[in-house]
Chains A and B, each alone.
Chain A
Amino acid sequence: DTEVTQTPKHLVMGMTNKKSLKCEQHMGHRAMYWYKQKAKKPPELMFVYSYEKLSINESVPSRFSPECPNSSLLNLHLHALQPEDSALYLCASSLTTGDSYEQYFGPGTRLTVT
């Protein structure tokens, strides 16, 4: 199974809402990533988890809060977002962070902030 799943597929939220994005993989990968992708742009790295510990935070605003409850699950908690945060949020995983060149991506969550 080489699949990374993400839920929900689409999310519309107001600026005062709190919501969460969920990502799951069962490939035994120990590195998991959150990316943000704007239209016609490459993915932009937000967070990296290695062995369930946050190892990289690419200066992401605190209104985005990641969580890794176990080695298969990755969440992204959203609070007080801005309209400019509307984007495709992608989760990815790789065997380890040293294998980042071979990442498996989920289909993404299309987020719209109104």
Chain B
Amino acid sequence: QQQVKQSPQSLIVQKGGISIINCAYENTAFDYFPWYQQFPGKGPALLIAIRPDVSEKKEGRFTISFNKSAKQFSLHIMDSQPGDSATYFCAASWSSNYQLIWGAGTKLIIKP
């Protein structure tokens, strides 16, 4: 019940296309859903995050869609660029808790 399931494991998208990564969870106590972006040789960096009282959050080309009833959330990258090529991790956490529950990660490659 603590798991966050992430798919796909890897994704290749043409430049200018839309990249979509999906995550699903079981624990309804989760109340914060961040996405982290990690480039090779670097630590993860918080990209965008959402709380379950909002169905969508957009920051620039990055959008999180959240479906509370389905217990799913997804990251959409619009107009994908080669510089977006990285590994993306979804995660979940709950209030006043030290833990981040991580998805398995998606390696995204944007082809020029």
Nearest-neighbor residue (CB-CB) of B101 within chain A: A42
Q: How large is the interface on A (under 10, 10 to 19, 20 to 34, 35 or more residues)?
A: 20 to 34
Residues of B near A21 (CB, < 8 A) are none
Segment with Cβ contacts to B, from A66-74, A75-83, A105-113: A105-113
Nearest-neighbor residue (CB-CB) of B100 within chain A: A100
Pair B43/A106 contact, Cβ less than 8 Å: yes
Q: How many A-B residue pairs have CB under 8 A?
A: 59
B contact patch SS: loop
Identify A103's interface contact among B46, B95, B97, B107, CB under 8 A: B46
Pair A100/B93 contact, Cβ less than 8 Å: yes
Most chain B C-beta atoms within 10 Å of own C-beta, residue among A92, A101, A106: A101
Pair B43/A108 contact, Cβ less than 8 Å: yes
Pair A101/B91 contact, Cβ less than 8 Å: yes
Pair B102/A42 contact, Cβ less than 8 Å: yes
Residues of A near B43 (CB, < 8 A) are 4, 90, 92, 105-108
| A46 proximal to B (CB < 8 A) | no
- Complex alpha-carbon distance, A43 and B87, angstroms: 12
Q: Interface on A for B, CB 8 Å cutoff?
A: 4, 31, 40-43, 45, 48, 50, 55-56, 90, 92, 97-98, 100-108, 110
Q: Which 3 A-B pairs have the closest CB atoms?
A: A105-B43, A42-B102, A101-B32
